Amino acid sequence: MSGNQDNHVLKLGVVSGKGGVGKSTITAALINLMHADGKKIVGVDCDVDAPNLALLFTVDKNEMDTKTVRTTEKAYWIEERCTHCKECIDEKFCLFNALKWNAEKKIPVLDVIACEGCGACSVLCNHDAFGIRPIDSGTMYSTVTGDDFPLIYGETIIGASTSGKMVSETKEFALHYLEGADHVVIDGPPGIGCPVLATLTGLDFVIVVMEPFPTSFHDASRVIEVINGFNIPFGIVINRCDAWDDGYKDIKKFIKENNYTYLGDIPIDMKVPESVTRMLSIIKHAPDSPASIALKKIHENLEKVLNRA
């Protein structure tokens, strides 16, 4: 998913830095609105640690396609070769604290979760008492929504996590479904680390969701620094904009001072948590509620910005 060459599909991502500020709600709503507008959409959830986007769509389980990936390798201990010399511990073969010594049995114990699969133990042990092998690390799903467009998501297997790699795998998997698509809309992970970097790679435009609280402001500023590092254009949405007045003013000032693109705000609307508990996008659940009306306006602004670019 790099560059713009694959059929001129426009790739949009939604991030926020801070979790729980409305990424999935806004992604789902924009997907619905773009689809209603006649655009061919592919939805992708790259929050591989907590993939929630599909929970907001009615998906046809019969049309589900899955693929298990093995992006992670882990070490294993080979008992019959071990001479119990303890060199692996004394010489600190493992820098990830995944090798501990069981003094009673005089054997090394591998913490498979902490193991990063670097293979140091297998290379350095003079008796070849460690091996390394791939393990199942995650599953990718492609589904078809009630509105008949593909929705792709990846989910890591707990304890086998290499979230960044899983994000890249999920984006790669989504490539199979891009034919004829106009927009790919990606729900991103929280944070600013490896999975976010993998999500942002190759995007054409990013939507940054903020809330009028200092925590969200702080975290969004950090993710904007990262987006600027990638040189990707972005626009800001303020969710629950009426939650705190001073915070709202701070964000507006920040946007103005930096000359950032502002896409609009969404008021607090109790129909939103209600829609989430019913597992529906707010656009489907309450199309005339204040949040839906605000999202329609944001969608219009977004299309204008995208057309200009």
What are the residues binding another protein (CB under 8 A)?
17-21, 24, 49-50, 52, 55, 73, 95-97, 113-114, 116-120, 123-124, 132, 156, 158-159, 161-164, 189-197, 212-215, 218-219, 222, 225-226, 229, 243-244, 246-247, 273-274, 276-277, 279
Distances (CA, A) of 188 to 12, 20, 44, 95, 100: 10, 12, 9, 31, 36
Minimum gap (Å) between residue 108 Cβ and another protein:
17
CB 274 within 8 A of CB 249: no
Residue reference for tokens 């930096």: 258
CB closer to another protein out of 57 and 177: 57
CB 17 within 8 A of CB 236: no
Distances (CA, A) of 92 to 47, 109, 276, 292: 34, 13, 49, 57
Minimum gap (Å) between residue 219 Cβ and another protein:
4
Minimum gap (Å) between residue 181 Cβ and another protein:
26
CB closer to another protein out of 9 and 160: 160
CB closer to another protein out of 182 and 274: 274
CB closer to another protein out of 194 and 305: 194
CB closer to another protein out of 69 and 226: 226
- Classified as helix, coil or strand, 39 is coil
CB closer to another protein out of 9 and 224: 224
Write the burial class of residue 260 (CB in 10 Å: 0-12 exposed, 13-18 middle, 19+ buried): middle
Minimum gap (Å) between residue 134 Cβ and another protein:
10
Closest CA to 51 of 142, 179, 114: 142
- DSSP string for 108-149: EEE-TTT-----HHHHH-TT--EEEEEE--EEEEEEEBTTS-
Minimum gap (Å) between residue 151 Cβ and another protein:
15
- Give backbone dihedrals phi and psi of 261, rounded to 5 degrees, phi first: -80, 130
Minimum gap (Å) between residue 189 Cβ and another protein:
7
- Classified as helix, coil or strand, 237 is strand
Minimum gap (Å) between residue 55 Cβ and another protein:
5
Tokens of 213: 């609280």
CB closer to another protein out of 47 and 204: 47
